[in-house]
């Protein structure tokens, strides 16, 4: 983790689920315990990865930001998964994890200024590097404290 001025870097190792994995998981249901309620696999995957991202944020000392621009550097083992699939699933988990960790208040319009995705193949070190660029208060785009 690097923490220079208004920029912080979070390193996540391993492949995050893509959108296709989420869609497949939505079709799988299971019962918690003998008489527990039904859950779908998506809920479990999302909860696990959101928690893991939050733990990594805390361990790396990522500090709270009111609003930020994000740069995602995705590293895949090979080119089997399409870039849009990789980013759509992984980005959702990362942003939700940042909210759980208290880095962001929410993952809505007020907090997210935008993002950029970059992709490369790295068979030995798959994962994602997330660069969080804090936006200055005057870049929040608010008028009288509200979104125009």
CATH number, domain of 75, equals: 3.30.1330.70
Q: Is 78 inside any structural domain?
A: yes
Number of domain units in the chain: 1
Q: What is the pTM of this model?
A: 0.83
Q: What is the pLDDT of residue 30?
A: 61
3-state secondary structure of 4: strand
**C-beta of residue 57 within 8 angstroms of C-beta of residue 10:** yes
Domain that holds residue 55: 3-137
The alpha carbons of the chain give a radius of gyration, in whole angstroms, of 17
- Tens-place pLDDT, residues 109-143: 999 999 999 999 999 999 999 999 998 655 655 54
Q: Report the C-alpha gap between 81 and 104 in whole angstroms.
A: 29
Quote the pLDDT of residue 143: 44
For the record, the structure tokens of 59 come out as: 């361990």
Q: Does 63 reside within a domain?
A: yes
C-beta of residue 94 within 8 angstroms of C-beta of residue 87: no
Query: For strand 68-76 and strand 112-121, is the pairing parallel, antiparallel, or unpaired?
Result: parallel
Residue 145 inside a domain? The answer is no
In a domain, 102, yes or no: yes
Identify the pLDDT of residue 70.
97
On average, the pLDDT of the chain sits at 87
Residue 21 resides in a domain: yes
């Amino acid at each position: 983790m690097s923490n220079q001025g208004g920029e912080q870097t979070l390193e996540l190792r391993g492949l995050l689920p893509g959108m296709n994995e989420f869609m497949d998981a939505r079709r799988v249901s299971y019962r918690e315990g003998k008489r527990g309620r039904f859950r779908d696999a998506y809920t479990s995957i999302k909860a696990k990865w959101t928690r893991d991202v939050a733990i990594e944020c805390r361990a790396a000392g990522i500090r709270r930001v009111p609003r930020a621009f994000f740069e995602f550097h995705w590293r895949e083992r090979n080119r089997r998964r399409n870039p849009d699939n990789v980013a759509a699933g992984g980005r959702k988990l990362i942003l939700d994890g940042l909210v759980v960790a208290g880095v962001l208040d929410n993952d809505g319009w007020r907090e997210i200024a935008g993002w950029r995705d970059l992709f490369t193949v790295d068979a030995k070190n798959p994962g994602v590097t997330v660069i969080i660029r804090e936006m200055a208060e005057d870049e929040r785009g608010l008028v009288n404290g509200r979104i125009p």
